[in-house]
Amino acid sequence: MSHVQGRARRARAALAAVVTWAGLLAGAVGCTPDGPVAGAFGPPGPEEVIRIVPADASKEVRPDQVLRVRASEGRLESVKVVRSQDARETPVPGRISADGQTWEPDDERLALAAKYTVDAVALDDDGRRAARRTTFTTYVPEQRFIGYVAPEDRSVVGTGMIVSLVFNREILHRVAVERAVRVTSRPAVDIRPHWFGKDRLDFRPEEYWRPGTEVTVELDLRDVEGAPGVYGLQHRTFSFTVGRGQVSVVDASRHTMEVRRDGEVLATVPVTAGAPKTPTYNGKMVITEMLEVTRMNGATVGFTDDDGKGEYDIPDVPHAIRLTESGTFLHGNYWADEDVFGDTNVSHGCVGLRDVKGGGAGTPAGWFFDRSLVGDVVEVVNSKDRTVAPDNGLGGWNMSWKKWTKGSAVK
């Protein structure tokens, strides 16, 4: 190869290198003779225009984590959030800020064991529309709590009814749980809560309910943390109606029960109360259960003989009306001599009314049973025993209003 040919080849190689470098520079700036093209500095993607937290596909998101949609440039046009929980889809209400920059939910707290789907549309600074969809799932707690509620939904009850919630787990965060329960009435009266221990919350007004009152109980316990790692499961509203007012007064010393309906005496019935060694509680007790017939065994309430067997075992006690959780009943009695009623106290603490085996409608026990409601008050006086405890059944009427109101966890 001649010296001239070598110099020509080196010139062509240098020219090629210059052209290639120029092409790279042109690609870097994204320019052509016809103007700008999409490239490293092209229009931003939806992920850049719309920022959503929690991040897409997040799992085990805790209920206190923030849900936010933000426009990093431009403004949000629309945001739709749907919560899927218990095979139901529910829109999540929220609002876009006045400047269009952010969307926030009305309720800051996320639901547990739920899937959230977020659909957002925004306009960037150049008026181009961007749309983005993300999903995430929330924490599924291993432990839940529920409240067993009395009275039953849509029931008609007596004027002494107390709303009582018994929880299946101990409640340590009592303020949060109490705030999640709302009891209201028509006509409106002041209704206050009282905690008995760590698993029971009762509500009542200062005086007995007025006949005809409608009471509504709202439980917003779903996802409320009742104790560390233990969350509520219920979101429920129920109601009941207060019927006529009936209060019966058992005088243990006179062996009688006076039944008053709306202030008028219906009847005075002969009874037998607790014997001297097993007297009946004094105080106001509320009917919580009514059984046409039931079995009563002394062993279940601590009355046993030397062999550990129940001092009594009656398989078919008729017209049994429960007054306390500890086992005080007002019931029909067919096994005692007729002359004890109105004369002698012979029971193990219950109040007995004359009845026949199988229960008779025309007997004193049958008559009273047919005229009673859950929520009616039975008050015992002049018995040689202490006053029933406020948490034994629905005995809260034996507590002063001042003391009752101090039982609230919300100060």
Supply the pLDDT for residue 38: 40
Which of the pair, 16 or 244, is modelled with greater confidence? Answer: 244
Told to judge if 235 belongs to the known catalytic residues of this protein, a careful annotator would answer no
Q: What is the mean pLDDT of residues 326-335?
A: 96
In the prediction, which pLDDT does 213 show? 98
Mean pLDDT over residues 133-151, rounded? 96
pLDDT in tens, 338-384: 999 999 999 999 999 999 999 999 999 999 999 999 999 999 999 99
| 196-239 per-position pLDDT tens digit | 999 999 999 999 999 999 999 999 999 999 999 999 999 999 99
pLDDT higher than threshold 50 for residue 333: yes
Q: What per-residue confidence (pLDDT) applies to 41?
A: 56
Residue 306 has a pLDDT of 67
Which residue among the candidates 194, 255, 319, 331 is catalytic per the annotation?
331
Cα 69 to chain center, whole Å? 31
- Domains by residue range for the chain, with CATH: 46-138 (2.60.40.3780), 143-243 (2.60.40.3710), 246-396 (2.40.440.10)
Please pick, among 255, 319, 348, 350, the residue that the annotation labels catalytic. 350
Write out pLDDT tens, residues 272-321. 999 999 999 999 999 999 999 999 987 777 777 767 777 778 899 999 99
Query: By C-alpha distance, which of 335, 331, 333 is closest to 320?
Result: 331
Neighbours of 369 (CB within 10 A): 23
pLDDT of 329 over the 70 cut: yes
Instruction: Please report which confidence band the pLDDT of residue 21 belongs to, taking 50, 70 and 90 as the band edges.
Output: very low
Q: Once rounded to an integer, what is the mean pLDDT over residues 181-186?
A: 98
Q: Is pLDDT larger for residue 103 or for residue 48? A: 103
Is 31 designated active site?
no
Q: Residue 87's pLDDT band (boundaries 50, 70, 90)?
A: confident
Tokens of 317: 């006690």
Report the chain's mean pLDDT, rounded to a whole number: 90
